[in-house]
Structure 1
Amino acid sequence: MLIPCPLCGPRDRREFHPRGGAEYLDRPDADAPAQAWDALLHLRTNPAGRTQEVWQHECCGAWLEVDRCTVTHRVFGARLVSEARDAG
C-alpha cells in the first residue's frame, strides 16, 4: 500500500503510523467533562469502507489525513492535517 505524502511523494505504508480516525482531531475543550475525554480516547469507530484517518509519516514527521478504504486498503489521497483543518 502506497500513501502519497504531500512532502515526500508516494511512500510505502511501513513508513507511516496510523493514529486513528480523523474525528480524533475534534478534541473537546480543555474544561470539558471527563465523559467527553473518555469518549474521545476510548470510544473509537471502526468503519468498513471509505474513511478519513490520521497517519504520521516517520521520515518527515508530517501528520496526514489519509482518505482510504478499510476493506480494500485502496488509498484515494492524503493531505496535511493542517490543510484539512483549514479547509474544514
Structure 2
Amino acid sequence: MLITCPYCGPRDVSEFTYQGDGNRRRPEAASQDLDAWNDYVYGRLNPAGDHNEIWQHSGGCRIHLRVVRNTLTHEMSSPVPVREPAGAAARKGARS
C-alpha cells in the first residue's frame, strides 16, 4: 500500500504509523461519565467501505495525516495534514 505524503510524496505504508479512527471524539478531560470514557476507549466500529483514519509519517517528516481508507480494498485516498504547521496560513497570505 502507498500513502501520499503532501511533503514527501508517495511512500510505502511501512513508513507510517496508524494513529486511530478519524471520526472518534474524545470526552472532555474533566468528564467523569464512565460510560462515555468506556465507549471512547473500547468501543470500535468495523465499517465496510470508506473510513476516515489518522496516520503519522513516522519514518519521514513526522506529519499527522487524515486519510480515507477503503476497508475492503485498502485503497488510500484524500491525504491531508491534520493541521497545518504553525504560521503556514500567514506565509500563504504573504505569497498571494
Fold in common (TM above 0.5):
yes
Size of the aligned set, in residue pairs, is: 82
Q: CA separation in 1, counterparts of 2:53 and 2:37?
A: 19
Task: Identify the structure with the greater strand proportion.
Answer: 1
Equivalent positions of 1:8-23 (< 5 A) are 8-23=8-23
How far 1:65 sits from its partner (Å)?
A: 0.7
Question: TM-score, normalising length from structure 1?
Answer: 0.82
For structure 2, which runs of at least 5 residues remain unmatched after alignment? Answer: 85-96
Q: CA separation in 2, counterparts of 1:34 and 1:6?
A: 39
Larger radius of gyration: 2
Task: Identify the structure with the greater helix proportion.
Answer: 1
How far 1:44 sits from its partner (Å)?
A: 1.5
Q: Aligned-pair RMSD on alpha carbons? A: 1.4
Between the two proteins, what is the percent identity of the paired residues? Answer: 44
Q: CA separation in 2, counterparts of 1:53 and 1:40?
A: 15
How far 1:35 sits from its partner (Å)?
A: 2.0
Partner of 1:77: 78
For structure 1, which runs of at least 5 residues remain unmatched after alignment? Answer: 84-88
**Structure 1 residue 38 and structure 2 residue 38: aligned?**
yes
Runs of 4+ in 1 over 2 A off after TM superposition: none
Partner of 2:57: 57
Q: CA separation in 2, counterparts of 1:76 and 1:64?
A: 11
CA contact (8 A) 1:21 1:45 kept: no
